[in-house]
Each structure stands twice: as C-alpha cells, then as structure tokens.
Amino acid sequence: MRSFQRLYEEMQLGERADLTARLVSTVANVMGSFRRRLPAHELTTPEFMQIFMPGRFETVHDFLQSHAARPAPWKGIPPNLVPEDIVDAANHIVDRKFSFLGCDFHFRENIDWHHSLGPGGPWPRAHWSEIQFRGISHLGDIRPCWEMNRHQFFVWLALAWHKTGDTKYPKAVTRFLHSWCDQNTPETGVNYISGIEIGLRCISWLLADRLLKGSPDWDEAAQERMHRNIFSQAQHISEYLVYTEKMSGNNHLLGEAASLAWIALQYPEWLDSERWLKRALNVLWPALDAQVFPDGMHFEASPGYQLLVVEFLALVFTELRRQKLPLPSKSYAILEKMTAALRTLQQPDGELPNINDNDNGCAIPLPLPAARRLEGVMSVMCALYNRPDFKSSAGKAFPLYGHLLLGEQGAEEFRIVAEYPEKFPFVTELRNGGLHILQRNSDWLLLKNNPDPFPQSGHNHADLLNVLLQFDGRPVLVDAGTYRFSDERGLRNTLRATAAHNTVTVDRRNQADPVRNFDWNGTVKPGFTQSHEEDGFAITDAQHDSYHRIGITHRRIVLWLKQEDAILIIDRLQGRNTHAMDQYWHFAPGTRVEEINPSLYRLSTAGRPLAWVRFLRDKDLDRHEIVAGSEGNPSFMFSRRYGEVEPGVALRHSWISSLSATHASHRIALFSKKELPVEFGDVWPGEFLFNGWAIDLSHTPAKVGRAKMPVVEG
C-alpha cells in the first residue's frame, strides 16, 4: 500500500499525462518485489576475497598487483596526445564545477551524487526499484544526474595527470570515488536504476584506474573499493539483463550486454566472470542481428544512438581481439556495416544528422566535439577493417581516441592502410533505414522516410519526408533536435511532433501524436522511397500514409539539377475533402530570412549569403510567414545538443485545398545557392515545366526529362 500512497503523492506534483505509466510501473514494482533482491550493502574485504577463484590470491594486495600488471592498450598513451582542452576540463572538475547537458552544477563542499534539477530536493535513496523517475516535474529531468554519475570525467582527470604529473588530479579521483561509494550503497538510489548507466560508470572507472597506475595518490584503499563496487554493479547488470531484454530491446540492451561483457573480460580472476561473459554474449550477438538492418542502420534510425552502440561494440570487439578470443564473423560484419552507415550519413561539416532522438551520450569517455568523436570511431574501424574509406573520414593522424582502444599497435595498423581521396556518390541510399542522401562535394541533402520501430519507437519522431540540407558545409534546413526527455515546458513532445520538422502537416495534425515522453498514439506509415541518378539530375521520390485516418497521402519528390545547381522539392497531397496544409522549412539559429517578395526569400548567416528559397506554383490565397521560435511558438525552437534550446527561425507556407480522386494539391519549393532566373509552368495536373525540364508525377518514381514543348512563364 505504501507504493500506491507514494504514487498518489507524486501525482499531486507530477504530470497527469504520466498517470497510466505510473500505475503500470507501480503495479509492476509491487509484483516484482517478490523476486530475489541483490544484497543492498557494500562488500567487505573478506567478502570480496570470496569472489576470486580458489587459491588465486592470498590478499587484496596480491590481486591489485596482478591486475595492475595486466597489459592494456590505454596504459602507454603518449602525453603529447592529450589536448589542453582536456586539462582545462579537468581543472573545472577538481573545483567541483560540472557542466552536463546544458546544466551547470557547482558543489562548494561535498558533491551530492543524487542532485536533481527540480525544487523537490535530491533524488530519493530508496531501493532503486521503488523510485519513479519519469514524469515527476518537481524533481526534473534525471539525465543530467545520470550523466554526472557516469564519471567519465575520471578519465579526463587521469589523462590530465598523465600529461602534467600534477597530483591534484589523482587526488580528486580518489576523493570522488570514496564520496560516491559512501552515498551509493549497492542497489540503492537512482544510480542503480539503469543498467546502461551502471555499465558506463564501470567503463570510466576501469579506464581511469589503468591510466592512474604509478600515482601514489591513487592508493590501494581506493583501488580495492573501486573493484568491490564494480563487482556489485556488474552483478546488478547480469541479474536484470533479462528485464532489459523484455522491456528495452533497443540500444539499452546492446549497451548493457556489451558493458557486462567488457567488464567480465577485465576480471578473469573472478568466479562469476566466465558466467557473465557467456550471458552477455549470448544476449549481445542475437540482439545485434535483430536490431540492425542489412544496410547497417540500427532500427531506431538515430545516428546519435547508433554511434553510441558502435562505441560499446568497439570496446568489446577490440578486447576480444586483444585476448585472442573468438568473435562471430556475422557480428564482426554487422559492426563494419554500422560504421559504413555512419560514414554514409556524415555531413559535410563532419557531424551526423541530428534526426530522431539524440542524448549526446558516449561510451568512450572523452570530451570531444561531435565531428572529432566520429573521426575517432573511424580511426579505430579503419585499423580493425583495413578500410581506406574509413581512413578518409578519420583525420590524418591516429588520435587519442584510437590509442584508448588499440594502443600503439592500432596506430601502426592505421598508418599502413592505404589513403584514397574521399569520394561520395551523388545518390546514396540506406534503404532499410529509410534514409536517402544526395551529395555533390560539400552540398548535401538527406530525406528521411524511416520505418516505424513500433513498439520500440520511443526515440522516433513524427517526421516522415523530413529533409535536411547543407550548402558548402553550412546548415540550411535543420532538424529541431531533442532538448530533454522530461521538461516542465512540454518541449519534449513539441520537438518530436511533425510541425517541428521540414515536412507537411494536414489540418495541423501530427503524423502520430506523442504521448508522455516516449510513447505514441498511432504509428507513422512510410510508403515507397526510390532514388536514382540520371544524366543531369538526381531524384528521390517518397511517400507516406500517416494521414490515412483522414484519407490523405503525402508524396514528396526531391529533384537535384546538376547544371542549374538547384534543388526542387515538390509536395503532392492526394485524398478527399477540403484541408488546411502547412509546409515547414526550419533554419538554424542566427539565419537571417529576408523577404524579397511573397514567393522569394534570401537566407544569410553572419553577413554571408547562404541560400535562396523560392516558392513556385503559389496561389492567390497562399500565405507565407517568417516565424521565430519563442514560448508562444515552441515548434520553432531548436536544440543543437541535449539540454540546450534556443529560438530558431522558419518559413511556414500555408494553403487550403479541396481534394478529390481527380484533384491533388501540389506545392513546390526551390532551394539554390544563388538567385536563378526561373521559367515555370503547368502542363496538366501533375506535370510541370521548370527551366527546360519536364517533371511528370503520374509515374512512380516521377519521370524527368528535357521539355519538348514551349515553356509557359509563371
């Protein structure tokens, strides 16, 4: 009854939309309370000695000496590889100044490892299964708290000591570790809720431990306590991996299984390690096969989460290779395909497209900008797979990132891979993942028509036929991003709704309606998508039926004309009855949108010309608006990284159209780097003429060719 009383109290302060989820969670927790609970106390030294193989060590000191002597690639990192910005970041950490996911924490004395963003005080320290962490607005978003408790800054501190020799860095790690263990009894508090968070923390501890070997300030008492708590945390991951299999069969399952496997590989002396490794790999290999499409895209179609999964896999694969343990060829090939898919998605500015959810999480604990992190992944995969194309995306030298995973051997393997000039085809498809890319040099376009990953669709957005665009490596059309998974302003659901993306709404409806923070009412329904290149142009033709409940089909044709260096985006809406249509074009913050006339707009950033946008086939009653993001217009806000949000700017093209079996509604937007003379006209419904090109939508895909009749100016 106390669980239900707590539910009632929390609902007075929480969000009504989460009532169903809370009821389900409470009932599940009450029913689950009968299952075996792990010991909720920190292991003593005698208990710790019982986890080793019999006769292996007589004392903890013997184990620590043996563990320190084991080879590891990250033990011999050249200090010159550690950049000054890591030292600067470490200096802030020493002073207990943390900045995570748009939130700043400054603890003047003791760090509160259960700190919450809301006014309701710190997160409770009950048994982890009794803590409700979703939808409780008086405690805020839990992600910044979890981010701090990943302890990835332990590695920054260790690297800063490695570079400078300053003892303040290992002293800080020792102090923080004892503080954390004092406040986090095993199985207690929010830091034992998520297995993937536990795994990331253990990875950070182990990497920092090896880097700090030789420092007298990283003493044996701290090392022993770290190992004791790693055992308890790995035991937790192993025990509850079956729950993750049933409830979170997505990147969480891959991350938890991979981290458990990696931890087990670090401790061959422990009795449970062999069982953990077998359990983890028996989950990881089938899950990897089930979750990754043949084209290498993870089913969640989130490049950010795919990069995180690749990092987890890289840890396991490189350690299995180093220990000369078997690795399934199929899984090895899947990782290669996943990496190739990331390279395909890489934008000219070096980053990955910010589509679907992205919490900017990383498994390799280095404070790197997004583009440098991707370069690090490519450097490791270049060495593993001997892929010159990966090397072309990896930068010129083997980075610190690569040394953490592969050491000097990896650096040598990287050096001998052949160097080829970077080339991208005009048309590239990740067909299974529903992502289609057109690219010419540093001009780049992506169209998204990914399959709905229902029921694991929590990280999806309602944005079929969304288009992203860069000219000369500068963003033109952008995605709204994620912001936070829980926020009192409601931006979580606003930014994953249809109007926050470069697509079309009908009657201001969503393709699917977001419910709570990770659920949906309805499912998105992508249709066909075809892309191909011909002499003089490339075309992507796609369709979705997410408005089937009101009888509407949305088809979008993207036509890139080489000679004109222009991109036509044609929207065709077919169905019945009269409807209000809105076409959205979202630009990055700082973009100046200047109206030349109601159908022509000039874009610039920092005083530099960026692009021209022209609307073709406008009707008299069409309306165009320049809309800036604000509290009153949240659909036009922009989140570059998790936890950060700022006003964006957009063009909204609105019209009303009466549809029938013989009459569809068409609107056309032209994007170009310079202002173009335009000759445009209709031939008959569904066929248009543009600057000597004929575009016929009666075919699928649309038929494009040189016009054979006089052009009517329009």
Cβ-based burial of 694 (10 A; exposed 0-12, middle 13-18, buried ≥19)? middle
Coil/strand/helix, residue 528: strand
Q: Could you tell me the two tokens for 117?
A: 């963003």
Give the number of residues written for the chain: 714
From residue 461, give the alpha-carbon distance in Å to each of 306, 432, 436, 449.
16, 17, 17, 11
d(C-alpha 394, C-alpha 410), whole Å: 13
Reported as half-sphere exposure (CB side, CA atoms, 13 A), residue 194 has a value of: 20
Closest CA to 188 of 122, 139, 126: 126
Domains in the chain, CATH or no CATH each:
1-35 (no CATH), 36-48+60-80+113-264+274-291 (1.50.10.100), 293-423 (no CATH), 427-675 (2.70.98.70)
Alpha helices, DSSP H only, in 102-250? 143-149, 153-164, 168-183, 195-211, 220-247
pLDDT at site 40: 84
Angle, in degrees to the nearest 10, between helices 84-94 and 153-164? 120
Separation CA 647–CA 590 (nearest Å):
9
Question: CB–CB of 272/300 below 8 Å?
Answer: no
Neighbours of 220 (CB within 10 A): 12
Cβ-Cβ contacts under 8 Å for 57 (sequence gap 6 or more): 49, 63, 66, 269
Distance CA 206, CA 192 (A): 18
Tell which wins on pLDDT, 4 or 297. Answer: 297
371 class by beta-carbon count within 10 Å (0-12 exposed, 13-18 middle, 19+ buried): middle
Confidence of residue 135 (pLDDT cuts 50, 70, 90): low
Give the model's pLDDT for residue 137.
66
Q: Tell me the per-residue pLDDT of 472-516, one tens digit each, with 9 for 90 and over.
A: 999 999 999 999 888 878 899 999 999 999 999 999 999 998 888
Q: Sorting pLDDT into bands at 50, 70 and 90, what band is 456?
A: low
* C-alpha distances out from residue 90 to 77, 103, 368, 403, 551, Å: 17, 17, 13, 20, 57
Output the six-digit token pair for 16. 């009504």
- Amino acid, single-letter form, for residue 117: L
The answer to whether residue 350 scores a pLDDT higher than 70 is: yes
Q: Rounded distance, CA 257 to CA 290, Å?
A: 14
Mean pLDDT to the nearest integer, 404-426: 91
Element spanning 467, H or E: strand 466-471
Question: End-to-end CA distance of the chain, in Å?
Answer: 72
pLDDT, average across residues 409-419: 94
Higher per-residue confidence, 526 vs 376 = 376
Q: What percent of the chain has pLDDT over 70?
A: 92
Q: What is the pLDDT of residues 220-249, one digit of tens each?
A: 999 999 999 999 999 999 999 999 988 888
**Long-range contacts of residues 45-54, Cβ cutoff 8 Å, at least 24 apart:** 45/224, 45/228, 48/224, 48/227, 48/228, 48/231, 51/231, 51/270, 51/271, 51/272, 52/269, 52/270, 52/271, 53/269, 53/270, 53/271
User: Looking at 598-602, 692-696, 708-712, which range is the least confident one?
Assistant: 708-712
Distance (Å, rounded) from C-alpha 629 to C-alpha 443? 26
Specify the range with the lowest mean pLDDT, choosing from 122-136, 174-188, 530-544, 638-652: 122-136
The pLDDT of residue 138 is above 80:
no
Arithmetic mean of pLDDT, 671-696: 88
- Distance (Å) of CA 144 to CA 86, 114, 221, 237: 20, 10, 29, 21
Q: Is 59 exposed, middle or buried (0-12, 13-18, 19+ CB in 10 A)?
A: exposed
Q: 3-state SS of 322-346?
A: HCCCCCCHHHHHHHHHHHHHHHHHC
Instruction: Return the ∠ at Cα 358 (arms to 509 and 229), rounded to 5°.
Output: 135
Looking at residue 292, its pLDDT comes to 97
pLDDT at 4: 44
- Proportion of the chain above pLDDT 90, given as a percent: 72
If we measure between CA atoms, which residue out of 339, 640, 295 comes closest to residue 433?
Answer: 295
Contact of 405 with 431, CB cutoff 8 Å = no
Per-residue confidence (pLDDT) for residue 164, from 0 to 100: 96
Residue 8 has pLDDT above 70, yes or no: no
**Has residue 383 got a pLDDT over 50?**
yes
The answer to whether the bond into 701 is cis (omega within 30° of 0) is yes
pLDDT at 32 over 80: no
Cis peptide preceding 455, ω within 30 of 0: yes
Q: What angle do CA 523, 527, 531 make, to 5 degrees?
A: 135
pLDDT grade, residue 210 (50/70/90)? very high
**What confidence tier does 619 reach under pLDDT thresholds 50, 70, 90?**
confident
CA–CA gap between residue 422 and residue 389 (Å, rounded)? 7
Is 9 a residue whose pLDDT tops 50? Answer: no
pLDDT at 1 over 60: no
Q: Does residue 530 carry a pLDDT above 70?
A: yes
Name which of 552, 548, 580, 536 is nearest 704 in CA terms: 536
**Residue 541 is inside which H or E element, if any?**
strand 537-544
What is the model's pLDDT at position 685?
A: 76
DSSP code for 686: T
- Calpha distance 558→188 (Å, rounded): 53
Query: By the 8 A CB rule, do 446 and 436 touch?
Result: yes
Q: Is 35 exposed, middle or buried (0-12, 13-18, 19+ CB in 10 A)?
A: exposed
Q: What pLDDT does residue 455 have?
A: 66
For 249-253, which contacts have Cβ atoms below 8 Å and span 24 or more sequence positions?
A: 249/287, 249/290, 249/291, 249/456, 250/291, 250/299, 250/300, 250/305, 250/453, 250/456, 250/458, 250/459, 251/196, 251/298, 251/300, 251/305, 251/308, 251/309, 252/194, 252/195, 252/196, 253/283, 253/287, 253/291
Helices (H) and strands (E) in the chain, counts: 18, 27
CA dihedral 115, 119, 123, 129 (to 10 degrees): -150
Check residue 707 and report its DSSP letter.
-
Q: Report the DSSP beta bridge partners of residue 486.
A: none
Residue indicated by tokens 């030349």: 596
The predicted pLDDT at position 712 comes to 44
Cβ count near 67 (within 10 Å):
18
Nearest by Cα to 143 from 117, 105, 163, 119: 117
CB of 155 within 8 A of CB of 211? yes
| Cβ–Cβ < 8 Å for 548, 539 | no
Contacts of 225 (CB under 8 A, 6+ apart): 177, 178, 181
